[in-house]
């Protein structure tokens, strides 16, 4: 029986939370390498909250995924056929693979990765776009300084957990907000956060008011009420880093914005959004720093690996239901 390429394609633009009807699981022939191309087998696929925005039509920082197209995703793959100089059979690469088992590439925007340096899933976590987002978001946009208090929402997620660790490495006091006792204990006991707040069982506002001297930097992955709660607690010249707003991605009505935005005026604070792609020329700097921190044990990468490309529609929902712990990754079971 000939090999087949299982793909997940966008069948409809979701309204609210994506459903099974928004996807088509299609089987196609495995592509063959043309001159100037390689074909690779996808090993691991990155699942990210940003995917929900990519499914929507309209203006954004990146073009939407078209109806009928393979769902956009970053991944780690192994080359199995090559007619492209510089890429050999057996090489491991990171790039936009899409949610599928095989893909062809001309090598543009493809980065080789070495499984001898770190386990392959780590290149989708702390040594991937997740880590890059955390690095530039907290150091460049957040502009943290030693001794400052940093609060991170979605702190047990892929980006938030790395943000908190980087802030600790830079001698900040770090408080994380996460859902559930287990996640909060992990932040403090394993990742070195100074404190963690379980927003499911604690009053976030009351707990944050206990922060001595207020909040210097708020790294926000959640948005909505969480952002609104934190704004009045900013110290003079505080910074709010807008990385995401996962609480708002599946709204069917208007996005809930910060009614407390005038707190920025009172505190002479600033609120700034960013997209990691804007820092592409500086990726090597971040990789070098993050790799060093992982090597000396100061930075940990937590991955949650689920099985089967065909299970993408259901596994994706874990991101929006609090079912992920660290970086959510889908493994192409057929490749192992």
Together in a domain, 118 and 219: no
**CA-CA-CA-CA dihedral for 288, 289, 295, 298, to nearest 10:** -170
Residue 2 is predicted with a pLDDT of 54
Together in a domain, 259 and 318: no
Residue 207 is predicted with a pLDDT of 85
Together in a domain, 219 and 135: yes
Residue with tokens 């590439």: 105
Together in a domain, 270 and 331: no
pTM above threshold 0.85: yes
User: Which of 113, 110, 151, 140 has its CA nearest to residue 276?
Assistant: 140
Separation between Cα atoms, residue 265 and residue 270, nearest integer Å: 8
Separation between Cα atoms, residue 118 and residue 300, nearest integer Å: 11
Tokens found for residue 98: 């899409």
- pLDDT band for position 1 (cuts 50, 70, 90): very low
Three-state DSSP class for residue 328: strand
Average of per-residue pLDDT across 295-322 = 93
Together in a domain, 66 and 134: no
Together in a domain, 42 and 70: yes
Question: What residues make up the domain containing 42?
Answer: 4-125+301-335
Separation between Cα atoms, residue 295 and residue 66, nearest integer Å: 40
Average of per-residue pLDDT across 182-196 = 95
Tokens found for residue 219: 């790294």
Residue with tokens 């990171």: 94
Separation between Cα atoms, residue 166 and residue 160, nearest integer Å: 10
Together in a domain, 140 and 25: no
| Alpha-carbon separation of residue 169 from 34, 174, 212, 265 (angstroms) | 47, 10, 20, 30
What pLDDT digit, counting tens, does each position of 43-82 carry?
Answer: 999 999 999 999 998 888 889 999 999 999 999 999 999 9
State the total domains in the chain: 2
């Amino acid at each position: 029986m000939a090999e087949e390429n299982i793909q997940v394609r966008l069948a409809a633009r979701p309204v609210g939370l994506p459903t099974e009807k928004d996807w088509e699981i299609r089987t196609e022939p495995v592509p063959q390498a043309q001159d100037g191309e390689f074909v690779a087998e996808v090993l691991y696929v990155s699942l990210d909250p940003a995917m929900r925005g990519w499914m929507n039509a309209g203006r954004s920082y990146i073009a939407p995924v078209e109806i009928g197209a393979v769902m956009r995703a970053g991944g780690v793959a192994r080359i199995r056929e090559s007619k492209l100089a510089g890429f050999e059979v057996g090489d491991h690469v990171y790039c936009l693979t899409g949610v599928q088992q095989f893909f062809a590439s001309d090598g543009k925007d493809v980065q080789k990765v070495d499984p001898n340096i770190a386990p392959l899933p780590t290149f989708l976590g702390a040594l991937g776009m997740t880590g890059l987002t955390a690095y530039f978001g907290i150091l460049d946009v957040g502009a943290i300084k030693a001794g400052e208090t940093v609060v991170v929402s979605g702190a047990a997620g892929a980006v938030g957990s790395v943000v908190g660790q980087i802030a600790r490495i830079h001698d900040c006091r770090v408080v994380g907000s996460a859902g559930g006792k287990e996640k909060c204990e992990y932040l403090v006991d394993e990742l070195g956060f100074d404190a963690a707040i379980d927003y499911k069982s604690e009053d976030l506002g009351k707990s944050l008011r206990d922060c001595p001297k207020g909040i210097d930097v708020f790294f926000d992955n959640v948005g909505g009420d969480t952002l609104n709660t934190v704004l009045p607690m900013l110290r003079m010249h505080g910074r709010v880093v807008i990385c995401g707003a996962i609480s708002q991605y599946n709204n069917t009505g208007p996005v809930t914005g910060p009614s407390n935005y005038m707190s920025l005026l009172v505190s002479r604070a600033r609120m700034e959004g960013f997209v990691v792609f804007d820092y592409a020329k500086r990726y090597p700097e971040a990789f070098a720093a993050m790799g060093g921190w992982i090597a000396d044990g100061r930075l940990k990468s937590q991955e949650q690996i689920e099985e089967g490309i065909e299970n993408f529609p259901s596994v994706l929902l874990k991101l929006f239901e609090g079912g992920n712990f660290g970086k959510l990754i889908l493994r192409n079971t057929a490749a192992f």
